Amino acid sequence: MTSFSRQDVLRILDIRPRQLQGWERAELIPPKPSYSFKDLGQLRTLKTLREEEVPAASIRHSIVAMKAVAGMANPLLEACLVRTGTRLAFRHHGAIVDPIRRQLLFDFERFDRPCAAYGPRPLRRPASVNPRRIQDRFLAAVQAEEAGDKAHAIALYEEILDIDPAYAPAHINLGTMYFHLRQFDRAEELYRRATIADPGYVLAFFDLGNVLDELQRLDESVAAYRQAVALSPHYADAHYNLALAYERKGEFRSAMRHWQVYIKLDSQGPWADHARSQIRKLLGRETLSIVWRCPKYLVRRHLLAHLELV
């Protein structure tokens, strides 16, 4: 996996060395010689919170409390942040949790779209980047890929990303090449980097969901597909793959919902026929489930009062 030096982090996130040192002293992030993409996501969230003037002590207390309440390793990455005055709450599994008070809060706004309030912002491009130069290289990379010269295409995409780490289409195309080479870890890395470069890029989350599905990490795959659907509710393929993922998780009602949405968005063709087939199967399963539950609502014979002749 690609790692970033402290200098890389300072440049990419546009933060000062004293800021990073201050977050380390406040125990918001441990001191490290190098950082992963997940670390970048956490640091970006911290930067946004501090820009919103959320006290460092409050952030630390909320994180520690959420770890204890929900058993999370990293709440800043695993849950959606919600500002409640000077404290933080976390939207998790459909509920808003105040970890310090250990209370559930009323959620007046359902989480049907991405949590953008404290989510990652697009990476900032270096001022020296020449857009025409990037576009020319990207076109050359696509042409090399179409001609079957994969090595040259990969080299060109890598060159683009060296020049401009925020160029999300290069991350996507290069990630897809590694996906087809079955180098799924590298593909995941590139797709995640695309989501950081452009948090509104639907295809980045869709492709991330695909590679996570290949890696059998279904919970993460579902989260990525849900983000794609939230960004683009009419993205039929995302609903299709999300339905499949929910089925694999055994969450059949959620799967049913997305099969039905897919049918509305794409009603013709073999994929639509398959979606209808899955709906029929799930309806049959649900009917059997209801019938199976019925006996517990019936009055049992041995509980009935009766008269005896004496």
Q: According to the 3-state scheme, what is the secondary structure of 141-159? A: HHHHHHCCCHHHHHHHHHH
Residue 91: name the closest of 68, 67, 71, 75 by CA: 75
- 5, containing H or E segment: strand 4-5
Identity of the residue numbered 164: D
pLDDT (0 to 100) of residue 113: 39
Cα distances from 301 to residues 290, 295, 296, 308, 309, in angstroms, run: 21, 12, 12, 15, 19
273-281: list long-range contacts, CB under 8 Å, 24+ apart.
Answer: 275/240, 275/243, 278/243, 278/247
Cα-atom radius of gyration of the chain, to the nearest Å?
24
Parallel, antiparallel or unpaired: strands 87-92 and 95-98: antiparallel
Ordered domains of the chain (ranges, CATH): 4-105 (1.10.1660), 233-310 (1.25.40.10)
Per-residue pLDDT of the chain (310 residues; tens, 9 = 90+): 456 788 878 877 778 888 888 888 877 788 888 887 677 777 877 787 777 777 777 777 777 777 776 666 667 666 666 666 656 777 655 556 776 666 655 444 443 334 443 444 444 555 556 777 888 888 888 888 888 899 999 999 999 988 888 888 889 999 999 999 999 999 999 999 888 888 888 888 999 999 999 999 989 999 999 988 888 888 888 999 999 999 999 999 999 999 999 999 888 888 888 889 888 888 887 654 444 444 444 333 333 333 344 3
SS (H, E, C) 198-263: CCCCHHHHHHHHHHHHHCCCHHHHHHHHHHHHHHCCCCHHHHHHHHHHHHHHCCHHHHHHHHHHHH
CA angle 198, 173, 45 (to 5 degrees): 25
Beta strands in 68-163 (DSSP E): 80-84, 87-92, 95-98, 103-105
Identity of the residue numbered 294: C
